[in-house]
Structure 1
Amino acid sequence: MKPYKLLLAAGVLLLSMFVVACGGSDDDSSSSSTAASSSSTSSAAATSSSSSTTAEETKSEATEAKAEASEAASSDTSTAAAPSSASSAKPKEGGVYKFQTTSPRIGQDPINTTGTGYFYNWGQGLSTLLRYKIGQEYAVEAYEVQADLVNKWEQPAANEYIMHIDPAAKWHNVAPTNGRSFTADDAVFSIKRLASQDSRHSGYWMDLKSVEKIDDSSFKVTLTAPAADFLALTAFGFNKMMAPDAVEAGGGNLQNGPQVGTGEWLVDCEVDVQCIYKKNPTAHLKNEHGQTIPYLDEMRNVIIPDVQARFAAFRSQLIDQHTLTPEQKMVIDAKYPQVDILKAKSYSGRMIHFRNDQPPFDDKRVRRAVSKAIDRQEIIDVLNDGKGFFSYSMVQPNENAYLSQERFAKEYVQDIAECKSLLAEAGYPDGLSTMIWIANYSENYVATVELVQQQLLECGIEVELYIHDRATYLASVFTRHGTFEGMAYGPQGTFTADAWLNAYYHSDGGRNSGHVNDPELDKMIVAQHQELDVDVRTKMMLDIQEYLLDQNYQLVIMGAVSDYAYWPWIQGQAFSAGSDYPGGRIYQYFWVDPDKEAEFRK
């Protein structure tokens, strides 16, 4: 087995569990964003006007929002009603949902970008062979697959899959596909293109031995060896199907279009302004009621770069959803009791990376000393409103494969005496000096590192902060064999545990920024990759996490628990492990209650 070589760009690294709902990042944009809604009768031209109005109106309210945070702290608060379950009512079809996420980017082909500027925008017009189960009835702790372009599959051998295409699946009715059926030839072409050396997503197909057409509606995939996560990776949002005739029309790539797919949306974007997503009239997926997915007629991504302006837009009902800071939540609790607030975990952890190949962090004792000097609970309480938990940034194959919070908490108790003892054993009885790199993602990220700096000083570890622009930070840290010095602090994206381990920890991993070179760990990663027995693999995953906890090649600081605010006419909030990053398919299950919208917009 060859290890994963996922060449992931910044978009992966800045995402939280509900990244599609709460926002994303691109190669050069921030991770914070919001969602929005408006009248279902507006045209594209009206949308452009609405975008301009939003920017102007929200500018004056941004300062007011900050002031009201302190006022609300002393006000009476009301508990907002919880959002209704995605399956508690039959969805109502129609309506428009406005949101704000990464600005669209141009000149990108789905095989050579990992930027959310593509996948959250143009990429919404393309489909994957399979998708993840989405809904509040599904556990968020694991990826479960269901049909998309492929509506059934067989596994005649441990390394073989026969896929059958949904006969209702069609390409968009635009040139050059003109509404023709999705065929096995299209699937074979797309898989080979995704697995090619030119593709940034070839790591997901590293076990591919061959893919061959059986007939127009079925094809066979043969792997070099069993791969436990093959179906889950097939459903991953990067693995989009592409039309051969579209690639040919684009001159051998899709960098400048044509933008055509089999997805649920017809997408039209204007960089740094907006994207409009109109429901595909030939969308092939249906729910248990026989309704076509998606339920909305239209979505709009209206770009609002300023974070406070986004909050002002939400409060003005110009947008439908906003991810709340603790201060903003106080405002909502005090003044907007009708707003639904949903709490959610983010499996995209915040981590400290070490240069494990250089002194002093090539010594396991020094890495552990740093860990014991950090008071993670203080970070959670002081900077994150007491909300947080511990997890590696990987979605395990099942809920039993996660280390318990009790196990993490026991390991992560601050112990300055042990820190000093470990440093002395490692040859640093008087402490040491080092540096930590950070990108200015947000005030919270910088404040976290400043607090860590103070905590480390208690143990005699003097740390100099190097705050970089995102581009420099990402190029130096989130790449194979990072060039940062000492330590680095930042977020990590959410993937299947198998993909995450192979990318970040295998000695040949494409995201092995910390220069981890551990033959024992390599063996453990390869073994779990090929293990098909669920119980045996669960035990392997627990053993790997214990090993990582002992070695401290990276330090988990925390995973966030965030507050997501929705206006009550937005229904059907649906979720999946990792929030279906980067597929963005959770929006397809949202719907607008027109009666509630009319009531609250009076």
Structure 2
Amino acid sequence: MASPGHWSVIRGGKGRMSADDNYWERWYKRPARRRGFLQLSGMTAVGAAALAVVGCGDDDDDDVTPTTAGGATTTTPAAGDSASPLPDHPFYKGLAGGKRGGKYVFALSEDVIGADPHSHEEPASLISALPAYNGLFFPWVEGPPTDIEIVGELVEKWEQPSDTELILHLRKGVTYQDVAPVNGRPFTSKDVLYNMERMRDTTRPENRLRGMFDVIESTEAQDDYTVRMKLSQSFAPLFSNLAFTWAAMVAREVVEAGDIEKTPIGTGAFILDKWDRGVALYWKRNPNYWKPGLPLFDEIEGQIIRDRAVRDAKLLAKELDAGSVQVLGSSKETIEKQMAEVRDKISGVSFVETPGAVTSMLKVYGNLAVKPFDDPRVRQAITFAMPYDQMIQTYFGGRAMRTGPSSSANIPWAMRSADLPPTDIAKAKQLLNAAGYPDGFKTEAWVSPAGSYGGAILGPIVAGLLKKAVGIEIEIKQLQDAEWLAQVYRGKGAYPMTAQVDWSFDDPDRTLREYYSSKGSAQHQNINDAELDALLEKQRAELDTKARQVLIQDIQKHIIDNGYMTPLLTQGGITAIPPWTHIPDIRTGNANSYRTRDIGYLDGGPRGPSA
């Protein structure tokens, strides 16, 4: 595990690309890809650390003998004498010094709604499913959070004959978990075809991935381990989307049996042993996992603990193997007090601190189908009325950053600083007066109680600030998790407005196009803006990095100028890691850290191998 504040570099394999000078090949060859970024100062190098696509069929260090995480020499066992060799990389071999055994225990801040990764975006549901699954690719990071290296997961190598074709060569020797109804059968091209069709399916409104793969015209199995994809156009986010957390390879048999929401069964490192609804999920090690010697944990346990005070108490009692410090709604003194208490109770604890989150941001927005949010002047007034700097200091202890619709911590796609809206109370009042609300108005904010969406804390903060600034009176209506997701986040209800922590994604296409286009699979505000739609379609086809960055910046300005949302900030994070816990610090890809629990380990502690 990299020490907090220190970025190290992992050398990936050589890209298996065509000889054509295509988009991904050009990006892979950029001199600033890794070493160049490390030489740049701070967070000013927009675009210096963009996505790198790295094929892992060949390893740069051919003279290095493959080793297990514990350091012993190993060979890759074959499944039918055909297993693909794995590169000497921690993603495949585990963290250095790894020890086998023990039980890793963590906490979830809300209940799990369902386990279908293609149909849920709520963190608890994703985390509940991810231990069972793998994806085609993975966005590995061991360096700055935006220095992403795409590595093959279930894909061993790949080719791109043109900007609209992709050939995937699957990893041989991978099997589904030896659990009915799949019973350990091989993972083949047919499974890729099934999953791609399912993720593109426009007939399922619950399918949250359809917009991310709608440019894929066809997928064809050339043999059991080769898949050819044809695209309708050039598509900048292709590899980022294929590596996306939710794009897991599920088993057709489980879906057809109607069990996908309650029984995640995939090719992954852990098998779900028990799901005690509202209490905990219990996983056991997959003994036939395709990464030899992994996973290192024998068991993992996710306890569902909604009460923040209870989670904190369990961490201090060493009943959890990782935790966090509450930033949202906390003053600087409160944060420092929390950290001091953790240091006092857990000797040797380390804190991984970030100034902002690559994968999330906080925002306020209204439903354009509900008055007065159909009036752009009202929406714009809210944007100008927010005291951003005061919020950062008072309610986040200084541990937050201003942001646009795409998190400003995602440096290559950050909004131009000059385009960030200022606090201007006089202008906000002028806009409200022009809209017919000189003394403000009354409305409701429907919020989620789930800790990951933050509405129960953020909503009252926003309500208090807007009432003081411009007289807008907001009644907070707290819904149950599933109800809020259906009525607000999926747009089925006539909600007036909401305040929430929301996803921001590695590639801005998902962050912007899917949420603000009239065609977007996650669009739930009744936005229908032809000019914005055209810009969003143009950026996803743009293969020149700098030109696309300008488009993304223009799109974010358009969204704010029209008041489609008020981007508040992206909050910093403070993760508490006890000295016995060794897990990779992956902050991209939206819950991707839970896709790498197979390579982490415990060294001592209450539940480690020697306990």
TM-score, L = length of structure 2? 0.73
The equivalent of 2:472 in structure 1 is 462
Call closer, same or farther: CA 1:184–1:254 in 2, change over 3 Å.
same
Q: Is it true that 1:348 corresponds to 2:360 in the alignment?
A: yes
| Contact 1:395–1:497 under 8 Å retained in 2 | no
- In structure 1, runs of 5+ residues without a counterpart are 1-85, 286-290
Q: Is it true that 1:567 corresponds to 2:574 in the alignment?
A: no
TM-score, L = length of structure 1? 0.74
The equivalent of 2:427 in structure 1 is 418
Q: Is it true that 1:509 corresponds to 2:520 in the alignment?
A: yes
Greater Cα shift, 424-433 or 156-165: 424-433
What letter is aligned with 1:99?
Answer: F
Q: Distance in 1 between matches of 2:294 and 2:265?
A: 18
Q: Residue 214 of structure 1: CA displacement?
A: 0.5
Q: Distance in 1 between matches of 2:521 and 2:297?
A: 38
Greater Cα shift, 224-233 or 267-276: 267-276
Q: Is it true that 1:96 corresponds to 2:110 in the alignment?
A: no
Structure 2 residue aligned with 1:132, among 139, 142, 146?
A: 139
Structure with greater proportional helix content? 1
Matches within 5 A, 1:576-595: 576-581=587-592, 584-594=594-604
| Contact 1:479–1:510 under 8 Å retained in 2 | no
Q: Distance in 2 between matches of 1:91 and 1:580?
A: 22
What letter is aligned with 1:119?
Answer: L
The equivalent of 1:20 in structure 2 is none
The equivalent of 2:126 in structure 1 is 119
Matches within 5 A, 1:153-552: 153-196=158-201, 197-198=203-204, 200=207, 201-247=209-255, 250=257, 254-255=260-261, 257=263, 259-271=264-276, 272-285=278-291, 292-325=293-326, 326=335, 327-336=337-346, 338-344=348-354, 345-346=356-357, 347-357=359-369, 359-392=371-404, 394=406, 399-403=411-415, 406-407=417-418, 411-412=421-422, 414-441=423-450, 445-446=455-456, 448-470=458-480, 471-480=482-491, 483-485=494-496, 487-495=497-505, 496-552=507-563
What letter is aligned with 1:324?
Answer: V
| Contact 1:574–1:590 under 8 Å retained in 2 | no
Q: Distance in 2 between matches of 1:360 and 1:302?
A: 42
Partner SS for 1:411:
coil
Q: Residue 224 of structure 1: CA displacement?
A: 1.7
Q: Distance in 2 between matches of 1:494 and 1:334?
A: 34
Render the CA deviation track for 1:416-445: whole Å, top value 9, x for unaligned. 222223334445445444443333446974
Q: Distance in 2 between matches of 1:104 and 1:352?
A: 24
Q: Distance in 2 between matches of 1:176 and 1:93?
A: 29
Q: Distance in 2 between matches of 1:161 and 1:373?
A: 48
By relative contact order (CA 8 Å, sep 6+), the higher-ranking structure is: 1
What letter is aligned with 2:424?
Answer: D
Q: Distance in 2 between matches of 1:89 and 1:508?
A: 45
Call closer, same or farther: CA 1:264–1:395 in 2, change over 3 Å.
farther
Partner SS for 1:436:
strand
Runs of 4+ in structure 1 off by over 6 angstroms are 395-398, 596-599
Call closer, same or farther: CA 1:206–1:267 in 2, change over 3 Å.
same
Q: Residue 87 of structure 1: CA displacement?
A: 9.9
| Contact 1:436–1:466 under 8 Å retained in 2 | yes
Q: Distance in 2 between matches of 1:480 and 1:105?
A: 20
Q: Distance in 2 between matches of 1:165 and 1:210?
A: 17
Partner SS for 2:217:
strand
Partner SS for 2:401:
coil
Q: Is it true that 1:152 corresponds to 2:152 in the alignment?
A: no
Q: Distance in 1 between matches of 2:457 and 2:282?
A: 36
- In structure 2, runs of 5+ residues without a counterpart are 1-92, 327-334
Q: Distance in 1 between matches of 2:535 and 2:198?
A: 30
